[in-house]
A and B are shown apart, each in its own frame.
Chain A
Amino acid sequence: GDSVTQMEGPVTLSEEAFLTINCTYTATGYPSLFWYVQYPGEGLQLLLKATKADDKGSNKGFEATYRKETTSFHLEKGSVQVSDSAVYFCALNKGQAGTALIFGKGTTLSVSS
């Protein structure tokens, strides 16, 4: 079945360091790919998305490129801030109306000053 695999955390970085969180997927067809972020004590919110191969999603300095050849959607940010500390979830859906998202297990990011 369809699935999403994320690198295990926690990821601990100093402020202004470069961030990469790896995400790969298994799915038939052409899924849409998402990154969600969950700040402490809150629900999930969409960070960025890409709906077709080679699309790049970006938001708040974060970027991810949909790579169909490697079935990957790695999240990157050039310079992290303490406020980026959160749990990050990679997710996919099949691009069909009404389908739920399939999530990875989440990666906890902790940024220290």
Chain B
Amino acid sequence: IAGITQAPTSQILAAGRRMTLRCTQDMRHNAMYWYRQDLGLGLRLIHYSNTAGTTGKGEVPDGYSVSRANTDDFPLTLASAVPSQTSVYFCASSDGQANGELFFGEGSRLTVL
């Protein structure tokens, strides 16, 4: 059972470059989320999608965009990376029901130089 697959696992890129973090789930969950994890700040929500075709902004959306063309995929794009976007990014999904558990991927570690 794969659950949530994120790619790449780790990436170093130069400031100003465009980068897409991929996220795929095989649980047919309606809702998907992107969080970033930073030391001392915990997890902060970047963007979310309650169902295919819809997206919404979380707590820290600036500099990021997402799309949800189908149920399984929820890519996160940094149009022009900046050093403050150095972080560990986690994709998660849930069945979208009230009180539902979130299932997390293993994370993508991104370093912007």
List the interface of chain A (C-beta within 8 A of B). Answer: 32, 34, 41-46, 49, 51, 89, 93, 95-106
Contacts and interface: CB of A to CB of B under 8 A. Distances in A.
B40 A93 contact: no
Interface residues of B, number: 28
B106 A93 contact: no
Contact of A42 (B98, B102, B106): B106
Interface stretch (B42-50, B67-75, B76-84): B42-50
Given A43-B90, A105-B41, A97 B96 contact: yes
A49 B99 CA distance: 9
B23 to A, nearest CB: 11
Contacts of B97: 97
From B35, B42, B45, B51, residue with most partner A Cβ within 10 Å: B42
B26 interface: no
A35 to B, nearest CB: 12
A47 to B, nearest CB: 11
Nearest to A45: B104
A82 to B, nearest CB: 22
A42 B106 CA distance: 5
Contacts of A104: 42
Given A43-B104, A98-B96, 15 more contacts: A43-B4, A44-B102, A46-B102, A97-B96, A97-B100, A98-B51, A99-B98, A101-B102, A102-B45, A103-B35, A103-B43, A104-B42, A105-B42, A106-B42, A106-B43
